[in-house]
Amino acid sequence: MSGEAFDVVDLIKLKRDGGTLETAQINWLVDAYARGFVAEEQMSAMAMAIFLNGMGREEIRDLTLAMIASGERLSFPGLGKPTADKHSTGGVGDKITLPLAPLVASFGVAVPQLSGRGLGFTGGTLDKLESIPGWRAKLSPREFQDQLREVGAVICAAGASLAPADAKLYALRDITATVEAIPLIASSIMSKKIAEGTSALVLDVKFGSGAFISDPKRGRELAETMVRLGTDAGVKTVALLTNMNVPLGNTIGNANEVREAVEVLAGGGPADVIELTLALAREMLTLAGMPDADAAAALKNGQAMDTWRAMISAQGGDPAAPLPVAKEQHAVLAERDGILVAQDALAFGIASWRLGAGRARKEDPVQHAAGIDLHAKPGDAVAKGQPLFTLFSEEESRFDRSLEALAGAYRIDVPGSPIENGGPLIGSRVD
Ligand code: URA
């Protein structure tokens, strides 16, 4: 007798055959996996059974709560201001957190943003910020609380104590082709966000080629599942569904994305980055009890920029220091006159990753100056010989593989041609 409450093989069989796991079974499974009693190969089988057969509403809630219970749950008593956070399901050129956190914090809302690093072709907020000389992602719990009180915005690395069962399961899903299951994505993201202690949360759920989930209907299902999990756990949660078929803004990488975020904080920047930043800021401010706050004015009048500078300095960064510049660059020119009608987010994300901006394994370093600057976006008129985009890397040898990823990923057509995967940037809202 092992003294254990359940036999894991029975639970795998139950899920494999389309059954429903009960609360006690899920609690035991997550705990037994976290302490190493349930083996990786057994949890792989369970993840695949969940991937194939799905989970009911109660099962997803139980899984989320069990992963939260595997670690620490933060709270901010005595902070004296409301808290609000945002989470994006990940995309290409998605630097929105960088202007958004200081923008919202500049109105007196605390933004406790515990972020991750990029894996695969989607970038990570911490990797982007680490291109700022001196900036550090790791804060002690004391530094985190002090910065939240004094500056309002903190973007830092999540400690190992936050939903550790999710960290273990996520690493396993990554190598067993079980990432893209809605119950698993929703419980993974929401366990970390609920454990982080925010009282309000705005989700940017992306659909399209450069997102985890390409189908908008499945994106909506993911959004609804996450909003329900947040609400049931007492976190005011809303989601915006946003289009990730085309890279966001004009930069993909790390340092170049920081440069673009600073342009937005200085009152400029690309229209799509401004639109999404303001839409998410308004949702966060509304949930924090400030529906009338003028977020657009705060980008124009320097209010958000002041908080950005304070946020970067508080973590050792020099907001005025020049950002790193890549040794090598390669411009791709338009081969004909016309209209740019396609720019596929997934291909540009992979191309940027191959330039060194992303990592293949968790322990790999990233090249902060590597990436892609886009000089034209779908719908723009272009002239033969004009640069369409520029690749940046520390190693010239990376350009060929990056260009291979871009074959067929952009197209110039005659004026009046339809834009591929066009449509509004911001789709529906789920609350
Ligand atoms: N991000 C997470 O944290 N978990 C997932 O499952 C997918 C994206």
Residues 157 and 253 placed together within one structural domain of the fold: yes
d(CA 281, CA 84): 10
> Domain of 402: which CATH number?
3.90.1170.30
- Cα separation of 17 and 87, whole Å? 34
Q: DSSP code of 71?
A: S
Helix (H, G, I), strand (E, B) or coil at 390: strand
CATH number for the domain harbouring residue 288: 3.40.1030.10
* Ligand 1: centre distance to CA 185 (Å): 5
C-alpha distances in angstroms, 256 versus 312, 362, 406? Answer: 16, 22, 19
Backbone angles phi, psi at 405, to 5 degrees: -65, -25
Co-location of 317 and 333 in the same domain:
no
Residues 242 and 295 in one domain: yes
Supply the pLDDT for residue 212.
Answer: 84
Q: Pick the atom of ligand 1 nearest to 89's CA.
A: 8
163 Cα: distance to centroid of ligand 1 (angstroms): 12
317 and 332 inside one domain: no
Q: In this structure, are residues 160 and 118 in contact, taking their beta carbons and an 8 Å threshold?
A: no
Whether residues 170 and 236 fall in one domain: yes
Domain count, the chain: 3
| Active-site position among 15, 61, 86, 87 | 87
Nearest to 348 by CA among 256, 252, 215, 277: 252
- From the candidates 61, 95, 117, 192, which is the catalytic residue? 192
Q: What's the CATH code of the domain at 46?
A: 1.20.970.10
The pLDDT tens digits for 189-246 are 999 999 999 999 999 999 999 998 999 999 999 999 999 999 999 999 999 999 999 9
> Can you list the alpha helix ranges (DSSP code H) found in 288-325?
295-300, 303-314
**Confidence (pLDDT) at 185:** 95
> Do 302 and 366 sit in the same domain of this protein?
no
Catalytic residue flag (residue 173): yes
pLDDT digits (tens, 9 = 90+) for 307-357: 999 999 999 999 999 999 999 999 999 999 999 999 999 999 999 999 999
Query: What number does the ligand 1 atom closest to the CA of 90 have?
Result: 8
Which residues of the chain are modeled with pLDDT < 70? 1, 119-120
Question: How high is the pLDDT of residue 77?
Answer: 86
Q: At what angle do helices 8-16 and 23-34 cross, to 10 degrees?
A: 120
Residue 122 lies in a domain: yes
| Residue 281 forms part of a structural domain | yes
Give the integer Cα–Cα distance in Å for 32 and 38.
5
Atom 5 in ligand 1: which residue has the minimum CA distance? 185
222 and 277 in a single domain? The answer is: yes
pLDDT at res. 179? 87
- From the CB of 185, is ligand 1 less than 6 Å away? yes
Residue 160 lies in a domain: yes
Alpha-carbon span 428 to 425, nearest angstrom: 10
Mutation pick for ligand 1 pocket among 60, 86, 189 (CB with most ligand atoms within 8 Å)? 189
Q: What distance in angstroms lies between residue 167's CA and the mean position of ligand 1's atoms?
A: 9
Task: Examine the domain organization and report whether 256 and 317 are in the same domain.
Answer: yes
In a domain, 167, yes or no: yes
User: Closest Cα to residue 180, out of 87, 16, 50, 40?
Assistant: 50
Q: For residue 99, what pLDDT is reported?
A: 98
Report the distance separating Cα 100 and Cα 278, nearest Å: 8
Residue 47 in domain: yes
Q: Are residues 24 and 120 in the same domain?
A: no
Assigned domain for 209 exists: yes
Residue 207 and residue 347 in one domain: no
351 C-alpha to ligand 1 centroid (Å): 22
Instruction: Decide if 418 is inside a domain.
Output: no
**21-33 as b/e: b if 16+ CB within 10 A:** beeebbbbbbbbb
Considering the domain architecture, whether residues 313 and 172 belong to the same structural domain is answered as yes
Q: Residue 360: its pLDDT value, please? A: 76
Confidence at residue 119, expressed as pLDDT on a 0 to 100 scale: 64
In a domain, 363, yes or no: yes
pLDDT of amino acid 343: 98
pTM: 0.95
199 is catalytic: no
Reported in sequence order, the residue ranges of 208-296 that DSSP labels E, i.e. its strands, are 236-243, 251-253
**Which one, of 431, 365, 367, 427, lies nearest residue 395 by Cα?**
367
Domain hosting residue 378, numbered range: 328-413
Backbone angles phi, psi at 370, to 5 degrees: -80, 150
Gap from CA of 57 to ligand 1 centroid (Å): 18
Strands 338-343 and 410-413: antiparallel
192 is a catalytic site residue:
yes
* 188 CA: nearest ligand 1 atom: 4
Kindly calculate the radius of gyration of the chain based on its CA atoms and give it in whole angstroms.
Answer: 22
- Whether residue 87 lies in the annotated active site: yes
- One domain for residues 190 and 253: yes
**Biggest distance spanned by C-alpha atoms of the chain:** 76
Pocket of ligand 1 contains residue 209 by CB under 6 Å: no
Distance CA 331, CA 339 (A): 18
Q: How far apart are CA 24 and CA 67, in angstroms?
A: 13
d(CA 313, CA 135): 8
Give the other-Cβ count within 10 Å of 286's Cβ: 17
